[in-house]
Every structure is written in structure tokens, then in C-alpha cells.
Structure 1
């Protein structure tokens, strides 16, 4: 099983369920409104298995009930609720009722850079941080506003190539959508101070680097050199924003991937150790026990 899913792979899901209620933009932004007319097949590899992705996701339930597992914690979702999912998150759809209506907005960091939000990038996507609650309940006015903004984005996507200002109009609608999410997120996250805002850009770059390299590079100096800061400054800044030091965040990514492999594959412990670039299975076992207070074998037995 592939560890990461790319945004382009949503096309298979779109063709299967969404029909004409889904639009995508060059593998950078995808809008999907799915009416689940029947139960999701058990053998659907994209939906049923856990995976990480290279994109951000806002998953909103308009009708029905669903259970999503994020980083091995289950979230029960009802109409009027949404889930925010960052690229570092291991995700798995556990159940989705027939008759459910699901809306999703999926976008990459490349699209955020392309629309040139600058330093506001880190402010607006702070709500994807693991410090923020994943599950949000929308109030009546917020639910209606999200419906309106999603419909506008779909409309602008339809005319993106035929309208001389198609890309710009879509950009404006998408930014307005992010701003509305940001307002909702204020109920679910700590208030940002100026010092947080200034330093979040460095942390966002570190997280992007860590997500790409953590399986092969666990030395903090590697990331500090790439970001042109000292290891101490990087670690202190990451802790200020996320609550974890940079090294703890790298360990967090590794243990999440280890748990995914232990749960969803039959790979021997030695192979998992190799995939995670540990020098030996014994060192991997020691690391896993330190993080989870049980051995990899003990953890796997829970799911057998």
C-alpha cells in the first residue's frame, strides 16, 4: 500500500460517486459534493484503508452519519459538523451511511503558495495544527455561509478557463472560504499572539520538510541547516507554536507511520524497522516502546 495519496487520485473517487458535483484544478484544488446512494464498498482501497496525503482536507457532512479515524482516534460526525485534516494526519474512513451527503474541499500547499497569501498562509491554516480540535460544530449562520461559499467556488471553477478573470475570481472565493474557516476555528484553538504569527512561517516550513523527510532523516541539524537557523532556535520555535519540540514532532510522525504499518499491513517488524530507517529492529522496538509504552508486537496484537 502506498503511504501517501496525491490529490490527483481523488479523480477515481469523483468518477465513482460525485459525477458532475465535483471540480478539480490541476492537482492543486478539488471541490467535491458526494451523494452516497449506497454503502461504500468494503474493498474500496482508497476509502477503507488508512493513508497519509499531500493535501489539506475540509470534510463536511451535510446529511447522514460518518465515522472517520484520524491518527488512530475515531471521530463521529453528524450533519452540521466538519473535520479539518492536515497532510501529516493518518486518515481512514470507518463508516459512511447510505444517503449521506458529503462535501470536501481539498488543496495543496502549492496552491496556497500560488495564490500568494504570503505570511497570512500560516495564519489561515493554523487551524490544521494538531493543537486544534479536529471536529467542529457549525452554528446555523455558519452552516449556511459554508454552503454559499462552496457553491460559489464550484461556480467559479466552471468558468475558470472561459472567463478572462477566472483564476482570480476562484482565488478570491477560496480565500473567503479560508477566512470563514478561520473565524469558526477561533472557538477551537488558542488565541494567536503577534509573536506566534511572526514565527509560524518557520514552523510551517519545518513541518513541510519533516513530512517529506522524516522517514530517512531524524537528525535535527538536517532541518535546521535547510531552514538556515540553529537547532536550538528551531526546536524552541516549533515548541512555542505546536507544543512539541522539533525532535518530538519528528518522532511523532515516525510513530504514526509505524502504527499505520502495524495495523494495516502484515510486514514483519524487521521490515517496518527498515522502512522507518532504524539501524536495527531492536532500536526500533526501543523507540516504539518509549513512545507508546508497549512493544510493536503488543501493539499489533490489539488489531488481530
Structure 2
């Protein structure tokens, strides 16, 4: 049976559907969408597959689960999100909804990175804009109530005429500051402060997420971080007990798994998209990393 492959999910795409008028539950523009309840996407399922179809997010998401639960795969890792959980996922995240309980409800914010280009992002918002963040927090009743108030404020501001762009981006910044505060509150007070090496390593991982498919040279990442290749190699090994190339190869093999599992593209095309010199080189690499050939892995799936 032919698979549909990995599809992009974008606000612009949803705007192109002949949807019903649903002003009470959703607000959508090309750069931003806010859904107040699952009722706001009920008619969307007539145009896209909600269950069992892998998507790559064109815009990131902030989702607050109000009731029920959602079972999904995020970058091939299965997760169960329950009532009282908050999820933040950057653009580029690959997800597939496996199951949604009948009593599930949530509110969801989606926005393009370019919406925040006038802001000076710090903390969690900065990490979000750098790509492929997936954060899940269990909220207390008080924390959930406070976030709901921010969602309500954002909903009201979105309906101002004319569109109050600066106010909207300001409320989104407040939302991320509040989420970051809750995240830090959940950390142990005895946890030591982050070192400079850990900060550099975090920036290194951001670069891996963005460039690993095309850049596989230590010098490239060292140059982006204004470090010598030798120092970067030493730092990465000290912080993670792994090498720079271990991280690069892991990102590449994850993308290869996604393409083999969710598309019918021939192996030679996947090898080309992942910038391998030829299919044989790709097959040897994949087998070395996974213990299986690309054909064997695809057959298992």
C-alpha cells in the first residue's frame, strides 16, 4: 500500500480550504492561528488526515491540553499528552497523531517565526525560534489557569481593528516568559547553574538540528560558534561523552528513518536528498548506524 509520505502542515494551507465560519473557536491568518477548542478544527479533518499521517510543522505550536489525552509520535518518539500538560514545539518538528480520546479538548497557538522578527527574543522564545524544540510541562491548576488567562487576552487582542501586531507579539512574548518561568520552577533549586560549556553545547545542538543534513564537517560548526575545531570537539565530548560526528550522524540517520518509513521514495533518491555521494555510500552508512540496510528497515516498517 502506497504511503502518503511526510507532508508539511502550514497555516497558509489551512486558509486555502473552504472551511465553515468558525469565529467563536478559531482565528487564522497566514502568520498566526489561535484555536480556543478542538471544535475549532473539527471541519479541518475533512481536508487533511488527522490520525496516522506524519506532518512536519511549518509553524511552531503551543498547545494546552484541557481534558482527555492525545497519543502521538514526535520525531519517531511516542508520547502521551494528558489534561494539564503544556506542549511547545518549534517549526520543523515532525509529528504524527496516533489517537485522540473522545473527551479531548485543547487550545492551540501557531505562529510563523517571521511574526516575531521585530522582537528581541530571549530564553525559551529564542530557543523556540532556533528550531525543533519540543517541551512538555505538567502544569498545576493555578499555572494552567494563568496560561488560560493569557490565551484569553491574546484572543481579545487578535480581534482588535486594525490588527495590533505589536500588541500581539508582546502578548506572545509574555506567554513564553510565563512558560519559561513555570519550566524553571519545576527544576530543583539545588541544580547547579549552567556552565559556559553547556551553553555552547546547546548552541551546537541547535546548529546540528538546522544544518546536519548538508554540513558534516567539524570546522563548519566550530566556525559558526567562533571556536577552533579542536576545542569544539573537546567541549562536546566533555559535556555529552559523544563526538561532534556522533551528533551529526544521529541527525542524518533520523531523517533517513523518517524518509524510509513515511515515503515511497527510492533509496537512490533519499541518498541524493541527504547529500550522499551515491546510494552505496548511503547504504553502508545506514547499516553501520542501525545494523540494517535501508531496504531491510523499510520492509520491517
TM-score (norm 2): 0.76
Determine helix, strand or coil for the equivalent of 1:114: coil
What is the deviation of 1:135? 3.4
- 1:224 & 1:249 partners in 2: Cα distance? 14
Residues 198 and 81 (structure 1), Cα distance of their counterparts in 2 relative to 1, 3 Å cut: closer
What is the deviation of 1:267? 2.0
Which segment drifts farther, 216-225 or 228-237?
228-237
What is the deviation of 1:157? 1.6
- 1:66 & 1:302 partners in 2: Cα distance? 26
Question: Which residue pairs with 2:253 in the alignment?
Answer: 255
What is the deviation of 1:100? 3.0
Determine helix, strand or coil for the equivalent of 2:36: strand
Asked whether the equivalents of residues 64 and 99 of structure 1 are also in contact (C-alpha less than 8 Å), the reply is yes
Question: Which residue pairs with 2:89 in the alignment?
Answer: 85
- 1:38 & 1:222 partners in 2: Cα distance? 45
Question: Which residue pairs with 1:66 in the alignment?
Answer: 70
What is the deviation of 1:75? 1.3
Question: Which residue pairs with 1:33 in the alignment?
Answer: 36
Residue 183 in structure 1 maps to residue 186 in structure 2? no
Asked whether the equivalents of residues 124 and 177 of structure 2 are also in contact (C-alpha less than 8 Å), the reply is no
Residues 21 and 196 (structure 1), Cα distance of their counterparts in 2 relative to 1, 3 Å cut: farther
Residues 78 and 203 (structure 1), Cα distance of their counterparts in 2 relative to 1, 3 Å cut: closer
Residue 215 in structure 1 maps to residue 219 in structure 2? no
Question: Which residue pairs with 1:199 in the alignment?
Answer: 199
Superposed, which structure 2 residues align to 1:120-159 within 5 Å?
121-122=125-126, 129=133, 134-159=135-160
Q: Which of 1 and 2 has greater Rg?
A: 2
Asked whether the equivalents of residues 39 and 96 of structure 1 are also in contact (C-alpha less than 8 Å), the reply is no
What is the deviation of 1:93? 1.4
Residues 121 and 234 (structure 1), Cα distance of their counterparts in 2 relative to 1, 3 Å cut: farther
Q: Which runs of 5+ in 1 are unaligned?
A: none
- Over residues 171-211 of structure 1, what are the superposed CA-to-partner deviations in whole Å (9 max), with x where a residue is unaligned? 332222112211232366685725359935x854x556544
TM-score (norm 1): 0.76
Question: Which residue pairs with 1:52 in the alignment?
Answer: 56
- 1:289 & 1:224 partners in 2: Cα distance? 28
What is the deviation of 1:301? 2.5
What is the deviation of 1:140? 0.9
Provide the alpha-carbon RMSD of the alignment.
3.9
Determine helix, strand or coil for the equivalent of 1:168: helix
Residues 42 and 210 (structure 1), Cα distance of their counterparts in 2 relative to 1, 3 Å cut: farther
What is the deviation of 1:145? 1.2
What is the deviation of 1:284? 1.7
What is the deviation of 1:254? 1.6
Q: Which runs of 5+ in 2 are unaligned?
A: none
Asked whether the equivalents of residues 36 and 107 of structure 2 are also in contact (C-alpha less than 8 Å), the reply is yes
Matched pairs, number: 294
Residues 287 and 100 (structure 1), Cα distance of their counterparts in 2 relative to 1, 3 Å cut: same
Residues 17 and 135 (structure 1), Cα distance of their counterparts in 2 relative to 1, 3 Å cut: farther
- 1:267 & 1:231 partners in 2: Cα distance? 36
- Over residues 52-105 of structure 1, what are the superposed CA-to-partner deviations in whole Å (9 max), with x where a residue is unaligned? 334332222223332111111211222222333233532111222445322222
Determine helix, strand or coil for the equivalent of 1:186: helix
- Over residues 274-301 of structure 1, what are the superposed CA-to-partner deviations in whole Å (9 max), with x where a residue is unaligned? 2211122232223223333333233223
